[in-house]
């Protein structure tokens, strides 16, 4: 139990540390850089984050397979899987780095359209961000493998330290330089140093002579069959999480986007904390699925579900009661008034998404990645269609209502989860009965 609590705490820390760090350094950077330079920095860091997420979308496949092989005691297959994952992510990282490098001039021209003097700085900031996508892709192999071993502390400590030091160094540089590309260069050095530490720790954990990327046929077959769907989820998640703001901006204007975005930021931790705090369930169940009976999986899934519901209920209640006051104090009365019609709906939509966390991780651990993918794609597609229908007539309220559809549809994943657990238990009982008959004979 202590290990699970520690893993949950590190999962929450991993989720919260960087956003909090950004909030802390934002006033300093904004004051020293000015609005335009700060905007360039925000775009470049967002590019690293988005590209890194897409390039490392196979991470869940690595967690599931490595945890499963660890549970089966097959260390040779485990190492082959990690080296194959290195190969996959390195290829993806390079591909997206090249795409980012090629698109950088176009993006820089649009971002700095009103200030041609910033264009070169923006261009090289985006190009450095493109290179860092590949660094993030390789780092994700280290982090996901440590998580597969249920060592969240080891995975998170180095990652958080590197990111926070990069933020601190970037903020410190603003006192002596207003060049965003220099800030990105320092960020890159910190990330590369963090990656080196991660690789050393991973090599020691696996007792491996080498972590050079490889392409083992059997490992690739398993990783790609699972990872293609987890990658599709990562891409669709990036798209779905940004489309609502774009639609609202077109239909209702920038002021409505500001109110809406702050509401979603305030409600996001309901899902975010639930997902990060319960992430340890994924490798834990993957490991047990390979080393224990099917019946033994029911109890941890049920306990996780109860904790999931309790957390979501508590945080949702707090935000429903005090959300308006928090928003008023955080963003001012004008934003609070604009958010009043949709705040409760957005909180409920985040709560519905938070409730599906246990089903998502349990199904992924049991290898049912296709179920998770199709439910998420269906939820996102219905949400987008409703937004297209409701936004022109109801504006910000229509966008917020459409978000509810995503949560309701993905919540239905509990039905196939119950069916899977029941079928596994039934098969286990039949196998036990056959074994008993054979023993008697």
Examine the pLDDT at 331 and tell me if it is beyond 70: no
| 385-422 per-position pLDDT tens digit | 998 888 888 877 888 888 899 999 999 999 999 888 87
Examine the pLDDT at 438 and tell me if it is beyond 70: no
Going from N- to C-terminal start, the domains of the chain cover 1-215, 253-441
The three-point CA angle 226-9-184 to 5° equals 75
Confidence at residue 288, expressed as pLDDT on a 0 to 100 scale? 80
What's the rounded Cα separation, in Å, for the pair 135 and 132? Answer: 5
Q: How does the average pLDDT of the chain come out, rounded?
A: 83
Confidence at residue 199, expressed as pLDDT on a 0 to 100 scale? 92
Confidence at residue 294, expressed as pLDDT on a 0 to 100 scale? 56
Maximum Cα–Cα distance across the chain: 87
Look at the alpha carbons of 17, 19, 23, 25 in this order and tell me if their dihedral is positive or negative. Answer: positive
Examine the pLDDT at 333 and tell me if it is beyond 90: no
Confidence at residue 431, expressed as pLDDT on a 0 to 100 scale? 44
The band of 432, judged by pLDDT with boundaries at 50, 70 and 90, is very low
- The proportion of the chain whose per-residue pLDDT surpasses 90, expressed as a percent, equals 26
Contact 419, 284 (CB under 8 A): no
The band of 255, judged by pLDDT with boundaries at 50, 70 and 90, is low
What's the rounded Cα separation, in Å, for the pair 23 and 30? Answer: 11
Contact 348, 316 (CB under 8 A): yes
The band of 335, judged by pLDDT with boundaries at 50, 70 and 90, is low
| 144-157 per-position pLDDT tens digit | 899 888 888 877 88
Q: Is 259 helix (H, G, I), strand (E, B) or coil?
A: helix
| 345-383 per-position pLDDT tens digit | 999 999 999 999 999 999 988 888 899 999 999 998 999
| 267-297 per-position pLDDT tens digit | 888 988 898 888 888 888 888 877 665 567 7
Cα atoms in the Cβ-side hemisphere of radius 13 Å centred on 108: 23
Q: Which residue has the higher pLDDT, 264 or 250?
A: 264
- The proportion of the chain whose per-residue pLDDT surpasses 70, expressed as a percent, equals 88
CB atoms within 10 A of CB 377: 16
Contact 213, 79 (CB under 8 A): no
Confidence at residue 400, expressed as pLDDT on a 0 to 100 scale? 86
Q: Is 406 helix (H, G, I), strand (E, B) or coil?
A: helix
Examine the pLDDT at 434 and tell me if it is beyond 50: no
């Amino acid at each position: 139990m202590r290990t699970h609590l520690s893993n949950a705490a590190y999962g929450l820390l991993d989720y919260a540390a960087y956003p909090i760090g950004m909030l802390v350094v934002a006033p300093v950077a904004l004051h020293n850089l000015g609005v335009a330079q700060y905007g360039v920095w925000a775009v470049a860091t967002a590019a690293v984050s988005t590209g890194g997420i897409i390039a490392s979308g196979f991470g869940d496949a690595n967690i599931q397979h490595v945890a499963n092989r660890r549970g089966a005691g097959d260390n040779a297959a485990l190492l082959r899987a990690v080296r194959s994952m290195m190969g996959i992510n390195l290829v993806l990282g390079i591909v997206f780095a090249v795409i980012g490098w090629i698109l950088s001039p176009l993006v820089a021209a649009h971002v700095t359209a009103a200030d041609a003097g910033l264009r070169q700085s923006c261009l090289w900031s985006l190009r450095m961000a493109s290179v860092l996508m590949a660094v993030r892709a390789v780092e994700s192999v280290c982090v996901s493998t440590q998580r597969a071993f249920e060592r969240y502390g080891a995975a998170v400590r180095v990652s958080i330290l590197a990111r926070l030091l990069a933020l601190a160094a970037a903020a410190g540089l603003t006192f002596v330089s207003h060049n965003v590309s220099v800030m990105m260069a320092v960020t890159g050095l910190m990330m590369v140093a963090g990656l080196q530490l991660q690789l050393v720790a991973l090599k020691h954990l696996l007792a491996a002579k080498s972590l050079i990327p490889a392409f083992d046929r059997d490992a690739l077959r398993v990783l790609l069959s699972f990872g293609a769907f987890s990658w599709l989820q990562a891409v669709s998640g990036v798209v779905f999480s940004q489309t609502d703001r774009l639609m609202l901006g077109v239909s209702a204007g920038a002021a409505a986007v500001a109110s809406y975005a702050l509401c979603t930021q305030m409600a996001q931790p309901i899902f975010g904390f639930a997902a990060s705090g319960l992430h340890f369930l994924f490798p834990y169940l993957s490991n047990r699925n390979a080393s224990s009976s099917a019946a033994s999986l029911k109890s941890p899934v049920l306990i996780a579900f109860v904790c999931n519901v309790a957390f979501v209920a508590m945080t949702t209640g707090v935000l429903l009661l005090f959300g308006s006051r928090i928003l008023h104090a955080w963003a001012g009365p004008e934003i609070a008034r604009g958010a009043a019609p949709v705040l409760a709906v957005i909180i409920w939509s985040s709560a519905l998404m938070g409730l599906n966390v246990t089903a998502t991780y349990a199904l992924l651990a049991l290898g049912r990645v296709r179920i998770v993918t199709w439910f998420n794609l269906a939820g996102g597609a219905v949400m987008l269609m409703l937004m297209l229908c409701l936004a022109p007539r109801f504006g910000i309220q229509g966008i917020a209502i459409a978000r509810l559809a995503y949560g309701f549809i993905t919540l239905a994943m509990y039905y196939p989860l119950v069916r899977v657990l029941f079928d596994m238990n039934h098969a286990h009982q039949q196998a036990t009965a056959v074994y008993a008959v054979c023993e008697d004979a």
